[in-house]
Amino acid sequence: MNDSYDIERAKKLVTIGKTIRLISLLVEVLIIVLYHLEILTSQIAMLLSLALVPWIKHIFALIYPEVASWDEDEHWKTDESKKLWEETHIRIWERWHMLVQVLVMLYLLLTLKIEAQTSQGFKTIAIITVAAFIIMVLIGCIRIKGENKVSQVIHYGMTMLAVIGVTVVTVCYCLSGPEIHEECTYVSGSYEGGNRNHLIPDYYVTVQLKDFTRYKCNVTPRLYDNIRNKNLVVCRRNGPLGIEYLHVHEL
Ligand SMILES: [Zn+2]
Q: What per-residue confidence (pLDDT) applies to 76? A: 67
Residue 13 pLDDT exceeds 60? yes
* Cα 229 to ligand 1 centre (Å): 18
Q: What per-residue confidence (pLDDT) applies to 51? A: 95
What is the distance between the alpha carbons of residues 136 and 221, in angstroms, rounded to a whole number?
Answer: 37
User: In terms of C-beta distances under 8 Å and separation of at least 24 residues, what long-range contacts does 149-152 make, across chains too?
Assistant: 151/71, 151/73, 152/69, 152/70, 152/71
* Cα 249 to ligand 1 centre (Å): 7
Average pLDDT score over residue span 112-141: 93
Nearest to 182 by CA among 84, 249, 106, 99: 249
Average pLDDT score over residue span 207-236: 85
Taking the alpha carbons at both ends of the chain, their separation in whole angstroms is 62
Which of 25-34, 38-47, 143-152, 176-185 has the largest mean confidence?
A: 25-34
Q: CA torsion sign, 25 to 200 to 160 to 131?
A: negative
Q: Give the Å distances, CA to CA, from 106 to 7, 103, 160.
A: 37, 5, 16
Residue 146 pLDDT exceeds 90? no
**15 falls in which pLDDT band (50, 70, 90)?**
very high
Which residues are CB-contacts of 250 (< 8 A; sequence separation ≥ 6)? Answer: 223, 230, 231, 232, 233
Q: For the whole model, what pTM was predicted?
A: 0.83
58-79 pLDDT per residue, tens: 999 999 998 888 887 776 677 7
What is the distance between the alpha carbons of residues 156 and 136, in angstroms, rounded to a whole number?
Answer: 9
Q: What per-residue confidence (pLDDT) applies to 71? A: 83
Residue 2 pLDDT exceeds 70? no
Q: Is 248 exposed, middle or buried (0-12, 13-18, 19+ CB in 10 A)?
A: buried
Total residues belonging to the chain:
251
* Cα 226 to ligand 1 centre (Å): 19
* Cα 90 to ligand 1 centre (Å): 43
* Cα 1 to ligand 1 centre (Å): 56
- Name the percent of the chain lying above pLDDT 70: 95
Q: What per-residue confidence (pLDDT) applies to 197? A: 59
Residue predicted with more confidence, 204 or 197 = 204
Residue 227 pLDDT exceeds 90? no
Domain-wise residue ranges, the chain: 4-174, 180-250
* Cα 223 to ligand 1 centre (Å): 13
* Cα 35 to ligand 1 centre (Å): 17
* Cα 180 to ligand 1 centre (Å): 7
What is the distance between the alpha carbons of residues 240 and 172, in angstroms, rounded to a whole number?
Answer: 7
**175 falls in which pLDDT band (50, 70, 90)?**
very high
User: In terms of C-beta distances under 8 Å and separation of at least 24 residues, what long-range contacts does 29-36 make, across chains too?
Assistant: 29/100, 29/104, 32/104, 32/107
| Average confidence score pLDDT of the chain | 88
Q: What per-residue confidence (pLDDT) applies to 52? A: 95
**5 falls in which pLDDT band (50, 70, 90)?**
confident
* Cα 59 to ligand 1 centre (Å): 35
Residue predicted with more confidence, 229 or 207 = 207
Residue 195 pLDDT exceeds 70? no
- Identify the helix (H) or strand (E) that includes residue 186: strand 185-192
Alpha helix (H) residue ranges in the chain: 4-36, 43-63, 79-87, 95-115, 122-143, 149-174, 221-224
- Name the percent of the chain lying above pLDDT 90: 49
Residue 24 pLDDT exceeds 80? yes
Residue 216 backbone phi and psi in degrees, to 5: -100, 125
According to DSSP, the β-strands at 214-219 and 202-208 are antiparallel
